[in-house]
Amino acid sequence: MDRCRLCNSQLQKGPQDSEKCPCGYKCGRCGRLFHGLAALTTHRQRAHPEEYRVAGTPQSKRRWVTPEKLAVAHKKARMEAGVTPTFKKVSDQNAALGLAVGRSAESVRSLRRDLGGTFEGLAVSEADRLAVESKN
């Protein structure tokens, strides 16, 4: 292992691919020294954003796009039409709907809450479309 440039002590393995010594943290990418872990984290966010995101740091929530909303409404309509299995508990239904588009049950719950009657209207229109398709 290396030695610290400031205090010449032995560097130890620290969090976030850094090295730690009594006087602070060393960035594993560029070698800059920081007195605290918060300063190192801020540095990594600004100076090395691509590696910071890859390291598993949560990113902002992704927004629902119209095709995803329609896919969830289509899946819900298929459940109500009896084409696919349905669930008694809304939380189980949300989980199943989320799997259709790679979202969590919590995310689907938020979508249903935010859209309110609009979501139910989408599901009804999808159910009507399914009924027409099944007659043909």
Enumerate the H helices of the chain as residue ranges: 37-47, 49-54, 66-80, 90-101, 105-115, 117-135
pLDDT digits (tens, 9 = 90+) for 40-69: 888 888 888 877 666 554 555 678 888 888
Bridge partner residues of 3 (DSSP)? 10
Segments in the chain below pLDDT 70: 1-8, 11-23, 52-61, 117, 119, 136
